[in-house]
Structure 1
Amino acid sequence: MFAIRLSADEGPGTRVLLVDDSAVLAGGDDETAELRSTAEDAGRAGAVQIFPRPLRVPAKVLLAGAGAADETSLRTAGAAISRSAADDEPLTVLLPDNFPPAAVRGLAEGLWLGAYRFHEAPRPPRSAPVTLTTTTPDAYARSLETARVTAAATWLARDLTNTPSAVKNPAWFAAQVVAEAATRPGVTVTVRGPERLTAEGFGGILAVGGGSATPPHLVELSWNPPSASRHVVLVGKGITFDTGGISIKTRDGMKLMKKDMGGAAAVVAATLAAADLSLPVRVTALAPLAENAVSGSAFRPGDVITQWDGTTTESTNSDAEGRLVLADALAYAVAELEPDLVIDLATLTGANAVALGKRTAALYSHNDDLAAALAAAGEAAGERMWRLPLPDEYVDYLHSDIADRHSSPSMGAGSVVAALFLQEFLGDRADRWAHLDMSAPSWAEKNEADLTKGATGWGARMLLRYLLTA
């Protein structure tokens, strides 16, 4: 990531002036007032106007719309600024006096997030620094550091999700987590391979990964500071590629399935970020990893699977595989980790996109306080969600004649029923659990605001924002 620094002195390169609906926020003069008056829609968040100034210093002025000048608007403005400048072009953004720290955080996050490119893309990422000029640089140091860690976590989640599945098998993903953990004091990681998964009875993970030449794994990543008074367990679906298995997907349904581990990427990134910020909360991330492939050893529709807790699941659709690996991880978390709260993230159902579109995740929880806190964290982080119900009468949809439950009944309400299936594994923590179905917002079809085309890293920012207040 390129450097963003705070300074009382104007840095080199292009001068960036933030503009709201009525005026230039800082650094305005007669010339910039005239430039602003000729610019169309100058104050809209994300609007950028570039004005060359030949033979003068600086040689270019960039007017960036700041909208309402709040954190969300400034995040959008920062991303637009990054995309409007050359990668080797230093920038100086002039900040007004008494600018809110949250606005600086949003601006910095946007600058970093808008500059993201997947590392295998031919064009290198931005390298030139950005100077934020303010009369009180020390007042924003914490905001800038939090923004840096948040953006780095999002970059990591995006990188993991964007990596092609020919590289990104379960063992590769686990190795990336081990390497990241090794650079952070106080972070520990345990990786269960197929032999240990078999010995410990993780039947759902083994069933889903049984058809692949690359066997399944379970990653357990922990940040446990001595000052921690709460323990939050984060569980993320980690299907490194999903063919649908024997219930094979269509070509169009399969082409983006390298993103089916977006939940695992988010929980891992958020946990590492919690360590980077030395947050006083214990965080454990569980990433059940498997490739759902088609072969003679793949699990079949109609199979009965014994989950980690000893209960059985009838599965008549091998493309409803994510809930099987999550079920093992959730049951293990509740029984062995003694969490105060459990939050799972999963690219689980297409029904989420039908109900809520591309930018909004579905939120399920019996706990009003937890649901409200997560929704607020998502709103602040720019990762929106909407709460949906968990109706008791729909639990009957899970009835099976031959097992303890059915994983994929054809009764409609697909996202709701998937959440109710997961609820079965929470035991006495069901009232301290939240499930986020985030398949649609995990991927962006184009650059938009702080999102870059491809994997969005959805959930990493929201979870870190939540953990900052947990």
Structure 2
Amino acid sequence: MAIAQLPTQVSPPEFALSSALPHQIGGAEVWAFPVLPGEDGPLLGPGADEASEALGTDLLAALEAARATGRTGEVTTVPVSAPDDDVSLVLLVGVGDASTTDFRRAGAALARATKDRVSVVTSLAAIAPEEGLGAFVVGAMLGSFAFHWRSTGPKEQPVGRVVLADISDDGADDELARALALGGAGWRSRTLATVPSNLKTPAWLADQAVEVGEAAGLDVTVWDEARLVAEGFGGLLAVGSASVHEPRLIRMDYTPRGAGKGAGKNVPTVVLVGKGITFDTGGLDIKPSEGMLTMKRDMSGGAAVIATMAALRDVDCPVRVIGLVPAAENAVSGSAMRPGDVITHVGGRTSEVNNTDAEGRLVLADAMAYAVAELKPSVILDIATLTGAMKVSLGQWTGGYFANDEALAGHVETAAAASGERVWRMPLVTDYEDKVTSKIADGDNAAGGAGAITAALFLQHFAGDVPWAHVDFASAAESPTDRHEWTAGPSGWGPRLLLSWLGSDDPLEGIA
């Protein structure tokens, strides 16, 4: 059988800073200016008056003629003719209340409006609040995302270069660098989640982790099936048993600067665990056909971990981080795990399999048990597209999370607010514990009822006494349409939240 070959993909825009106004910067094809709502009509931001004079075009009149309001992401297009310059288009972009979220969304709107353009110079970020410049850049990056597998190449290209004009803040370079790390991680995660599963096998995903890990200075180890058997990864082996593509466990190790061998022995360790189901048929409890259409992205938790690990050094993460991605294809064949099977996880805990479509918790359980037994973590966070129940609970755009430690829960909330990847805390209801208890094994993987909660309770047993958070973002893993920084398709959700947390000054502050 021929091996699928992924075509060359588009790249995000390049970004640069300048203290000059747009009309003072030569070579740009597009100029873009911010628009703010005002009591007597919308107001134009820095450089717009000078641009109007240079172009001989009344930009404020054009704004009024279009009945623009300045609401976030609203784009007014003004074609221009400038004999002495390359500019052919002016964009007037609404920033609403001018919050960091507004600037993230304005960046995405600008990116969509400048597809197939060579360059844009914009003063939007010049009026951004603290951290608003970075939010603008992240929005512009992710709003530019595209994926293709066409014989003729991509339908459109992101704008090639974005110059942020009228920026003189001494800290802008650092803010830009951090934004590029966060946006780049989101781009990588989205790409991995979008790759079709005729290419994206567990082995392929492991190869990607090795490649990006080496580039980021990480130590990467991959367990093949023989090693998984030898070390007792019963959940991962059972889930992957029906596929011709053998399962893998991916381990990625990050060590902060100054904490190498013989130094920094007291630096704590965070373990990230990401679900890596490269395709999910549901197994013998098979999904309906429409339920499989998006299942190439059932490894989105694993993609989030891989992308996060690759960017930790860029955000100067101060703690050790180990990323674990248990990767398998949940297929259907004569060797598939069956309803009623009992499997033994790393460490000896057993699970009765009463639904083969509740496979994600089985592979996460193995990785979490391995982490507790072998890695001495100060914190474990697992992230997964785990339950349809979470989407029922929270809808399309918000992930759910559970935590057994209040300080850790606070870190997740803070990171979500900063990153734009929203979450809502869900309860670990102890009254439901009897639902995850099997009559013949230690646990039941298909408790039903409050499905997102019982899945979390199932996993909690594998965290032991370690402070632990469980992020279930099945609710946010797929965007049905282009919306702000999200493009239609797999969302690549997660890395921005994780990097905002792990790139903070003290990611473990207050954690027991």
- Give the TM-score category using the shorter length: over 0.9
Worse-matched range after superposition: 228-237 or 245-254 = 228-237
**Offset of residue 267 of structure 1:** 1.0
Residue 447 of structure 1 aligns with an amino acid whose one-letter code is D
Aligned-residue RMSD, C-alpha:
1.6
Distance 2:316 2:414 in 1: 22
Residue 13 of structure 1 aligns with an amino acid whose one-letter code is E
Q: How does 1:381-392 map to 2 (within 5 A)?
A: 381-392=419-430
Corresponding position of 1:324: 362
Corresponding position of 2:144: 115
Residue among 82, 90, 106 paired with 1:61: 90
Indicate whether 1:154 and 2:186 are aligned.
Answer: yes
Indicate whether 1:437 and 2:457 are aligned.
Answer: no
Confirm or deny: 8 A CA contact 1:101 1:143 kept in the other structure.
no
**Offset of residue 277 of structure 1:** 3.1
Q: How many matched pairs?
A: 466
Tell me the secondary structure at the aligned position of residue 316 of structure 2: coil
Indicate whether 1:52 and 2:79 are aligned.
Answer: yes
Judged with a 3 Å threshold, the aligned counterparts in structure 2 of structure 1 residues 4 and 309 are, in CA distance, closer, same or farther, namely same
Confirm or deny: 8 A CA contact 1:119 1:159 kept in the other structure.
no
Distance 2:186 2:125 in 1: 28
**Offset of residue 232 of structure 1:** 1.3
Distance 2:486 2:292 in 1: 22
Residue among 32, 36, 46 paired with 1:26: 46
Indicate whether 1:189 and 2:220 are aligned.
Answer: yes
Judged with a 3 Å threshold, the aligned counterparts in structure 2 of structure 1 residues 210 and 399 are, in CA distance, closer, same or farther, namely same
Judged with a 3 Å threshold, the aligned counterparts in structure 2 of structure 1 residues 406 and 91 are, in CA distance, closer, same or farther, namely same
Corresponding position of 1:174: 206
Q: Deviation per CA, 1:49-108: give whole Å up to 9, x if none.
A: 111122455432110011122211111001110101132331110157674341110111
Confirm or deny: 8 A CA contact 2:385 2:472 kept in the other structure.
yes
Taking only the aligned residue pairs, the percentage that are identical comes to 42
Q: Please, what TM-score do these two structures have when normalized by structure 2?
A: 0.88
**Offset of residue 135 of structure 1:** 4.5
Corresponding position of 2:196: 164
Distance 1:142 1:256 in 2: 37
Residue 24 of structure 1 aligns with an amino acid whose one-letter code is L
Tell me the secondary structure at the aligned position of residue 273 of structure 2: strand
Q: How does 1:296-315 map to 2 (within 5 A)?
A: 296-315=334-353
Judged with a 3 Å threshold, the aligned counterparts in structure 2 of structure 1 residues 363 and 35 are, in CA distance, closer, same or farther, namely same
Confirm or deny: 8 A CA contact 1:238 1:288 kept in the other structure.
yes
**Offset of residue 459 of structure 1:** 0.5
Corresponding position of 1:456: 491
Distance 1:281 1:35 in 2: 52
Q: How does 1:262-281 map to 2 (within 5 A)?
A: 262-281=300-319
Residue among 75, 81, 84 paired with 2:110: 81
Tell me the secondary structure at the aligned position of residue 476 of structure 2: helix
Confirm or deny: 8 A CA contact 1:70 1:102 kept in the other structure.
no
Residue among 119, 122, 133 paired with 1:90: 119
Tell me the secondary structure at the aligned position of residue 351 of structure 2: strand
Task: Give unmatched runs, 5+ long, in structure 1.
Answer: none
Distance 2:207 2:95 in 1: 41
Judged with a 3 Å threshold, the aligned counterparts in structure 2 of structure 1 residues 43 and 315 are, in CA distance, closer, same or farther, namely same
**Offset of residue 296 of structure 1:** 0.7
Q: Deviation per CA, 1:293-351: give whole Å up to 9, x if none.
A: 00011100000000111011101110010000000001111111111111111111000
Residue 80 of structure 2 aligns with an amino acid whose one-letter code is R
Q: Deviation per CA, 1:117-159: give whole Å up to 9, x if none.
A: 0143632532521111125054311111111111111111011
Residue among 133, 140, 155 paired with 1:104: 133
Distance 1:415 1:97 in 2: 43
Judged with a 3 Å threshold, the aligned counterparts in structure 2 of structure 1 residues 99 and 293 are, in CA distance, closer, same or farther, namely closer
Judged with a 3 Å threshold, the aligned counterparts in structure 2 of structure 1 residues 8 and 407 are, in CA distance, closer, same or farther, namely same
Distance 1:376 1:120 in 2: 38
Tell me the secondary structure at the aligned position of residue 94 of structure 2: strand
Judged with a 3 Å threshold, the aligned counterparts in structure 2 of structure 1 residues 38 and 329 are, in CA distance, closer, same or farther, namely same
**Offset of residue 440 of structure 1:** 2.1
Distance 1:32 1:66 in 2: 17
Corresponding position of 2:19: 8
Tell me the secondary structure at the aligned position of residue 51 of structure 1: strand
Confirm or deny: 8 A CA contact 2:125 2:132 kept in the other structure.
no
Indicate whether 1:243 and 2:281 are aligned.
Answer: yes
